[in-house]
Amino acid sequence: MSLLCRWKLETRNLKLETRNSKLETRNSKLDVPILNSQFSILNFQFHLGPFNCV
């Protein structure tokens, strides 16, 4: 179970980092489509693995 917990924490950190980069690049219209595609993949990963830490 510890590996699943670690995966969840690392994925959550990645989501926070991606959210920060979205705020930083909001003024750049060229970066928005790439960022949106990254968020779609990230959301798919979250729905794929709803693991609970025990």
Asked if residue 54 has pLDDT above 50, the reply is no
Tokens for 50?
């709803």
Task: Give the mean model confidence (pLDDT) for residues 4-26.
Answer: 65
Q: Which residue has the tokens 């060229």?
A: 30
| pLDDT tens column, 19-28 | 666 666 555 5
Contact 5, 51 (CB under 8 A): yes
Asked if residue 29 has pLDDT above 60, the reply is no
